[in-house]
Amino acid sequence: MASHIILPKEEEEEEEVEEGLGVAVEADHDSPEPPRYRHLQPAQKALPFSATCVRISRDSYPNLRALRNASATSLRDDDAAFAKLDEGDYGYVLDDVQHLTDYLPELPTFPNPLQDHPAYSTVKQYFVNADDTVPEKVVVQKNSPRGVHFRRAGPRQRVYFEPEDVKACIVTCGGLCPGLNTVIRELVCGLSHMYNVNDVFGIQNGYKGFYSSNYLPMTPKSVNDIHKRGGTVLGSSRGGHDTHKIVDNIQDRGINQVYIIGGDGTQKGAYEIFKEIRRRGLKVAVAGIPKTIDNDIAVIDKSFGFDTAVEEAQRAIDAAHVEASSAENGIGLVKLMGRYSGFIAMYATLASRDVDCCLIPESPFYLEGEGGLFEYIERRLKENNHMVIVVAEGAGQDLIAKSIPVADQLDASGNKLLLDVGLWLTHKIKDHCKSKKMEMTIKYIDPTYMIRAIPSNASDNVYCTLLAHSAIHGAMAGYSFTVGMVNGRHAYIPFHRVTSTRNKVKITDRMWARLLSSTNQPSFLSKEDIMEAREAERLANRLPVPAGSSEHTKKHSASVLSNEASGDVQGAPTLTLSQLHQPATAVTVPAPPPSATAGTASVTVIDPDDDSGATGPREETPERETGTWQEAEETGRTRDERPMQPETPERMAPPPGNALHARADETAAQAAQDVDAFKPDDG
């Protein structure tokens, strides 16, 4: 059964009469094909998302998490009013972007100027079909649902702006990144050469530049060579975002296309600007181009400038390797960018092949004791006489906070100011070697600003060009969005999808396993990690709450479920202890409980094929209720191939009121005993 997004009967009938809810999405004017989706977003009145429920079958369980990410976990407060979820056959879901006609339904359209452009006259099927979408997940199984899709980027046959009426502005915000000038250049040249737009202005020094009286006129001639320089010709800054003042200036100056280049904080600001523009009913398209050297923007494959950053980071690693190998017991320590995500450190380590240890924020480590960093350093120096350590700037911040108590401070963008893990680790290694009376030489290299201030390489230049052109096509077609590459295809992504979470290194993924294989470093599991793993395993093994359970047990389960829906750690994917020891092992997340609520969103999960008394969906992989994972591997049979256990009265009967809690207490006590047994000799 495909997933269906439905309304309660009485509300559905009322909305269809008053707002036309349930009418199919209007296709682009050039499309001869009938529309394929039902549109759930009224033109004037926002859909009350709290009244929405999701009916989902057992086979479409993998789509549940995607739906939650697209709605329940990210749609809070007024965000629900801007949700556009369209559904189709076989579990297809389109997470659509906002369009001018959502609040200005009577806008006229115009032929796309590219129809008469000599460069595109020989290109067949150049215009994007109205039904073209890009899947968020490309690896699927035979019977799994198609999942969440995004609208494909590219030119439409009809546009909502006359070229002579367009007044566009471009702004860059946040830190520097390779490729900023390339994006600026291609926005200016693309608007001019493809759509004959003459009025393009640059907003200087970030969001606060909107308050300035002087906008910088930009022409193809003025930006011709800027892609050969690092940084941004417009200047950049953090903070300075005042939504009402910014929109006031946009309205006063007659700007109708806004191109915003920046990271997740900047994209949040772009989303606020769009919401205020929509509230005022302005004919303005807002296009966000995500930028972060850390590569931590959600949904997209990668952010521009990342390839250049990894390439430049290798130069620092090469220098550290030369220094380390030229001294007795030499250590080269390189700190790379990565506040919350260690992608630069991981990819630079894999590309270099000279690194002996890589430390990132996603993978905790500890210094002393058995299996700690110091023990590994001693062993590596004895074996090889030198070593290279790469550490991301966000790694080990919890360890630094314990040794150097300091109040949390924030920068202008609201990011926590990090302590220098490179300097701290350098001193710690020196002190340890001195206490062990080991001769050692350590060289610390911090190439942070060298990496981000250089021009983009050839690969990033091409990527920046495609991002800029995709943004132009979308804005001319009347969309407001964030643009990015998803599974190799450029797509228009709703703002809330790229700002609701961060992209992080998955230490259970094969890429991290490849790194561990390359460096031969241990997993650095501490006793706290053991406790967390035991607790995660207990939660993973918990039973669905049967009918007739005590009121206390039901309230407890509802509390756990609420935490899951709100993104609490208990609702995150959980790992067993053995899986933490084996980073390359594929991990299957256990089925979540039956219903969840987050903010104003309400999602009810109904499995019509499940008669066990629990309403939660089931995994497509072997479940614990019908045998252990080891049994499944030994027999070679999946859940669907194994005979189901009969529903005996004992099996169906609910446990006593406090049975689940007693079982949890026993598990916690056993976990404490395991931790005591594991306790290292030192610290």
Which residues are annotated as catalytic? 294
Return the structure tokens found at 635.
């027999």
Cα 634 to the chain's mean position, in Å? 37
**Residue 90, marked binder:** no
To the question of whether residue 266 is assigned a binding role by annotation, the answer is yes
Angle, CA of 588, 594 and 599, to the nearest 5°: 100
Any binding-site annotation on 452?
yes
Cβ atoms of 184 and 154 within 8 Å: the answer is no
Q: Is 626 annotated as a binding residue?
A: no
Q: How many CB atoms lie within 10 A of CB 435?
A: 9
- Is 292 annotated to bind a ligand? Reply is yes
Longest dimension (CA), the chain: 83
What do you get for the CA distance between the two ends of the chain, in Å? 55
Q: 656 phi and psi, to 5 degrees? A: -55, 165
451 is in an annotated binding site: yes
- Identify the three-state secondary structure at position 586: coil
Instruction: Flag whether 263 is marked binding.
Output: yes
Q: Is 337 annotated as a binding residue?
A: yes
Q: Is 184 annotated as a binding residue?
A: no
> In whole angstroms, what is the distance from residue 262 CA to residue 651 CA?
55
On whether 422 is known to bind a ligand per the annotation, the reply is: no
CB distance 189 to 119 below 8 Å: no
* 637 belongs to an annotated ligand binding site: no
Residue 606 · residue 5 · CB < 8 Å: no
The span from the CA of 134 to the CA of 301, in Å, is 12
- 202 annotated to bind ligand: no
534 is in an annotated binding site: no
Classify 260 as helix, strand or coil.
strand
Q: Is 265 annotated as a binding residue?
A: yes
Please write down the HEC assignment for all residues of 185-249.
HHHHHHHHHHHCCCEEEEECCCHHHHHCCCCEECCCCCCCCHHHCCCCCCCCCCCCCCHHHHHHH
Separation between Cα atoms, residue 588 and residue 584, nearest integer Å: 13
In 3D space, the residue among 423, 413, 43 whose CA is nearest the CA of residue 208 turns out to be 413
Residues 73 and 601: their CA atoms lie apart, in Å, by 8
294 annotated binding-site participant: yes
**Any known ligand binding at 238?**
yes
Cα distances from 354 to residues 55, 200, 386, 387, in angstroms, run 52, 47, 11, 8
- The Cα–Cα gap between 165 and 283 comes to 11
| Nearest residue to 390 via CA among 311, 445, 339 | 445
Under DSSP, the state recorded for 70 is I
Sheet holding 441-445, edge to edge: 357-359, 386-392, 330-336, 441-445
**Residue 169: which H helix or E strand, with range?**
strand 167-172
**Binding site for Mg(2+): residue ranges?**
264
**Binding site for ATP: residue ranges?**
175, 238-239, 263-266
**Binding site: residue ranges?**
175, 238-239, 263-266, 292-294, 337-339, 393, 449-452
**Binding site for substrate: residue ranges?**
292-294, 337-339, 393, 449-452
